[in-house]
Structure 1
Amino acid sequence: MAVGALVTALFGQLLAGTAAAAPPDRTPSPGRIAWEPCQSPSGEGSFECASIKVPVDWRRPRGATIDLALARHLATDPDRRIGSLLINPGGPGGSGVDFALTAPESFSPQLLERFDIVGFDPRGVGRSNPVKCDADRVADQGALLYPDSASSFAALREANHALGENCRDLTGPLVDNMDTTSVIRDMETIRAGLGEKRISYYGVSYGTGIGQQYAERYPHRVRAMTLDSNMDHSLNPWTYQKTETIAMEESYGQFADWCARTASCVLHDRDGRALFDSLYRRAAAGELVLPGDPPYTFTTQDLQGLAFGYMYDPASWFQFAEELAYLDAPDAASGRLVGKRGEPTEFGYLPVMCQDYDFDLPSYRTLARFERGLARLAPVTRLSSLAWSDLTGCQNWPTEVTNPPHRLHVDGTPRILVTNSRYDVATPHSWGSNAARQIGHEAVFLTYDGVGHGDYWLSPCARDAIDTYLITLKTPRRGTHCPAVWPTGPSAQRQSPSGGLVNPLPDLLGTGTRR
């Protein structure tokens, strides 16, 4: 897919009834996992890697299987080891193996001392039989995600169905079994293979959806669970769009206000909201053209996607301001890049989302009504590019909604720590507070009052609360708020304020994943 250099830079930075009604499972008996020494890309830390077999289709447990890839960072103080801490970075499509391999740089020394940090690539992701789709069809579908007529909506539906069928052809029946219900049964198999009676868990972004539904189905297998930047699996299509769009508008507003009060921001003397509105209107008119050979016409979708990606971590805001300034007055320094097409590419995102949410709409008229309503809610940014592509990308997807939305029914777990930033563009604060309400008295909700996604790397206060809870099981007081942290200079943009840790999410949640 041809994109401008700015968009390419953005991508380099960047989720059968209710589980409560499901019959009880027999504990899987996979045997102990056979670990072998392995090494992280950085060479830091002591790691082991392995794989474990799970059924492709849990309704046919004796049928075909796939191998799930695992990695663990061994506790650095084995005499004081608490147990295994399973982790997931989100997506859907983020690699838990790669997440674990970043442990020495990404998690606090206190956690590294007391836990084996265990990551796994969920089914259809990374090293676990990845879903493959033809890059041509992915690109063709991507060009149709913003229909403006009944005919283009029909073309989108046709492209979605063709893409899903192509993924099935290239990958096999796993494509029809990518729902989170299957993932949590995989995770229970991993728990048994680890030989742990109960596990601790840290999930961020879509990883919270895995944790929520694991706690729902296997409450007595949970020792401790932190859900950071939460999904809300109870939402209907409109509420999903509405909450995501409000989060985008509010997050961008926080950026504009920060820039106005930060002298070193290149847009300090500009009205950030008015600038975005001007750029949007120019893009809508086809007048936002970047130099290159040939020139690249920057679209409204490009602009919304660019802004969305930079809301994940305010540490990148100095660069975001520079890119907005460049868009307003481009020069010839930027070129155009062309990606490969016509080859199989990993694409695990929609196969999960389209089986976990029922997004299908009856007509283009309904979609257009959504778009008008969202623009009224968000007069500057207009909509959330993530939520919109979730909605449009799932129209007429060929697999069934095997894990339909439902309210959580959690009963019998220990206390669960639920955290969310006040301005989270990908998983809004309302999702976290709603998830905590659904979990009920087992949940303790903490709010980080800043902007971004992944509280552990954004807030020293939130990180300390998470570490303390996972190690000691002591939760913060209900209703705790952590103060916002704002960037003060453009240097060390990947450096987390949380004890010098590196935020791994921008690299882990790249192309093919969203949350």
Structure 2
Amino acid sequence: MRKTRGSRFAAALAVTTLTVLGVAACDSADDEDSPAQPAALAWGACPAAAPGTTRDPRLTCAKVKVPLDYSRPDRASIEVVISRLGAADPAKRHGVLLLNPGGPALPGLDTPGAMAPTLPKPVLDGYDLIGFDPRGVGTSTPQSCGLENPSVAALFPYPAADGSIDANVQAARATAAKCAATAGENLRYFTTANTARDLDRVREALGEAKISYWGQSYGTYLGTVYSALFPDRTDRVILEGNVDPAHVWAGEAASWSKGMAERFPDAAAVAAAQNGALGLGATPAEVTRTYLALADRLDHQPASVPGTPQSLSGAMLRGVTYALLIHNNTLPVLAQVWKAAGDLADGRVTDADGAVLKQVFADGPAAPGVPADNQATMFLALTCGDAEWSHDVGAYARATAADRTAWPLTAGMPANIWPCAFWPQPVEKPVTVTGQGPRNTLILQNRRDHATPWDSGLGLRHALGNRAAFVGVGNGGHYVYHEGSACADTATTAFLDTGRLPEKDLDCTDVTTQ
């Protein structure tokens, strides 16, 4: 995965979506008359980064105090940490561009430094690039459920080898109870709507009348919610790899099955082209059959990974596959992983196999002061707290069985039960997203995106109507910009530079999978 776009395997696994709260006191913070003279920001050194993380030395950071609960803004407060990479040419400065790398629950302080090398001079000259750790994430009042397994991937509810979801039900109930007991009532206020309200406090603190915004993956939903709550405070909005606001979040998760079926053939074709070395099959169809048989085998008998405390199960193989499908340049690595997994299951692991597996299963440490389970905790807080899920256990069992039959690559996981089925009722309903507002949004969507599939991008396009222009790219993977489409890249940077959207939706077919 490309380091400039949040490349760690664990981060990629987290990708993995509407009326305003009917309380007058809450919406008072959203009015045009809200406080407009915040205390000056104290820019200085950024919090310590996670070990092994490369940070742009030009970044400076500051803290913004925000209410925990916007319906009671005079009570408890929390802190949101933001970062800044100043415009390269102050004389040409247009404004600020807030960046969010998605997740849900990825930290974003380093996003400006990661994105800057991919942006042309007019954009770097014209914008202060602003990163932020969203509320509850990273250094912004980090939350923790005290989960024993801190991996987001461990939350994905793959059924048992025989399709039973009994263990998933038990695990989901236990995880929800653990969060309630450890993180407590306050976790209910760590939602996307409140994060969007935080962004408006950030806008005020920066002294800007409007903000431009670039959100990727989950960040598209955050940007959509911000634009719905504060339409007159948005300047230029880019949404890349998109969440359908009508399907938050159970429906978005359910879309992964079809998305995987659309994306998987790209990787299978790469493996088939190396059949002489890998022995996985001479055609994409043969590789797919090999993969399904291997996953089923590991479901029944997981294999220990030499040099690690891990065992490779069918669920883990599917999770790694999901992660490595994020980018086209990791498809050859994925083919090597499949070969190594097959050797492991056969009890014959070469040195090359071991090196591949150790790389895949290596977990990056959290930043100092950030709980190990922070991302997993906030993944749950957002996906369970933004919208209510069904509580019907029997319905999950039926849906999982049907999904396993229709979409064997995902084995029923996307339709299965999550801790959200046992989560407290959300503090508010999802924010309504409509086509009312300025025409200032560019939607970037790959046709074969398994994390936020094509249909999801079309759903957002439909919801925003004339407010948006849609750029569809004939590519696989989760990211669009700087992934090989000159057509999409030109439309993106021209919009940031000039503020002009394409007059009509664009069909960019200048990219194909390697």
**Band of TM-score, shorter chain:** 0.7 to 0.9
- Among 29, 35, 40, which residue is 1:28 paired with? 35
1:329 aligns with 2:353: no
How far did 1:162 drift? 2.1
2:64–2:81 contact (8 Å) kept in structure 1: yes
Q: What's 1:370 paired with? A: 399
Give distance in 1, aligned partners of 2:77 and 2:385.
Answer: 20
Structure 2 match to 1:314: 328
Residue in structure 2 matching 1:345, options 340, 364, 373:
373
Q: What residue number does 2:214 align with?
A: 202
Quickly say closer, same or farther: Cα 1:395–1:472, change in 2 above 3 A: same
Number of the residue aligned with 2:477: 452
Equivalent position to 2:247, from 235, 239, 252: 235
Alpha-carbon distance, 1:106 to partner: 4.2
Write the mapping of 1:45-444 to structure 2, written as runs, cut at 5 A: 46-136=58-148, 142=154, 145-146=157-158, 149=164, 151-169=166-184, 173-235=185-247, 239-260=251-272, 266=278, 269=282, 271-286=286-301, 289-290=303-304, 292=306, 297-330=311-344, 331-332=348-349, 333=351, 334=354, 345-346=373-374, 347-363=377-393, 365-383=394-412, 387=414, 391-397=417-423, 399-405=424-430, 408-444=433-469
Which of 105-114 and 449-458 deviates more? 105-114
Q: Which one of 489, 493, 501 corresponds to residue 467 of structure 1?
A: 493
Q: Secondary structure at the match of 1:455?
A: coil
Alpha carbons of 1:290 and 1:47: their partners in 2 closer, same or farther (altered >3 Å)? closer
1:41-80 superposed Cα distances (whole Å, 9 cap, x missing partner): 7565633311110011111111111111011100001111
Counterpart code for 2:78: I
Instruction: Judge conservation of contact 2:193–2:225 (CA < 8 Å) in 1.
Output: yes
Partners of 2:101 and 2:246 in 1: how far apart? 21
Post-superposition Cα deviations, 1:202-252, rounded to whole Å, max 9, x if no partner, equal 111111111101111111111111111111121277743442210011111
Q: Is the 8 A contact 1:45 1:73 kept in 2?
A: no
| Shift in CA distance, 187/484, structure 1 to aligned 2, threshold 3 Å | same
CA contact (8 A) 1:259 1:265 kept: no
Alpha-carbon distance in 1 for matches of 2:330, 2:152: 30
Report the CA distance shift for 1:478/1:19 in structure 2 as closer, same or farther (over 3 A).
farther
Q: Which moved more, 1:400-409 or 1:70-79?
A: 400-409
Inter-partner Cα distance in structure 2 for 1:88 and 1:295: 33
Q: Residue 269 of structure 1 aligns to which amino acid in structure 2? A: A
Do the aligned residues in 2 keep the contact of 1:247 with 1:428 (CA within 8 Å)?
yes
Write the letter of the residue equivalent to 2:10: F
Give the secondary-structure state (helix, strand or coil) at the position aligned to 1:201: strand
Q: Deviations over 1:317-368 (max 9, x none)?
A: 111101101112233443888989xx863131101110113223312x2112
Alignment length (residue pairs): 469
Q: Percent identity?
A: 24
Distance in structure 2 (CA, Å) of the matches to 1:188 and 1:241: 28
Q: CA deviation at 1:419?
A: 1.3
The separation in 2 between residues aligned to 1:422 and 1:297, in whole angstroms, is 34
Taking a change above 3 Å as real, the CA distance of residues 164 and 256 of structure 1, as seen in their structure-2 partners, is same
**Contact 2:299/2:315 (<8 A) preserved:** no
Change (3 A) 1:294 1:87: closer
In structure 1, stretches of 5+ residues that fail to align are 1-7, 489-515
The TM-score with structure 1 as length reference comes to 0.82
Rounded to whole Å, the distance in 2 between the matches of 1:20 and 1:57 is 12
TM-score, L = length of structure 2:
0.82
Residue type of the alignment partner of 2:100: N
Q: CA deviation at 1:33?
A: 3.8
Q: One-letter code of the match for 1:156?
A: A
Q: Could you tell me how far apart the structure 2 residues matched to 1:204 and 1:99 are?
A: 11
How far residue 30 of structure 1 moved from its aligned partner, in angstroms, is 5.5
Q: Larger deviation: 403-412 or 204-213?
A: 403-412
1: CA distance, partners of 2:249 / 2:139: 32
**Shift, 1:133, TM fit:** 2.4
Q: Which runs of 5+ in 2 are unaligned?
A: 1-6, 366-370
- For 1:310, the aligned partner's letter is L
Could you list the per-position Cα deviations for residues 457-483 of structure 1 after superposition, in whole angstroms to 9, with x for gaps in the alignment?
A: 323332221111111112224231223
| Superposition RMSD in Å | 3.2
Counterpart secondary structure, 2:289: helix
State the Cα distance separating 1:256 from its structure 2 match: 1.5
- Secondary structure at the aligned position of 1:462 is classed as helix
Task: Tell which deviates more after alignment, 100-109 or 462-471.
Answer: 100-109
Cα–Cα, structure 1 residues 19 and 484, in superposed 2: closer, same or farther, change >3 Å?
farther
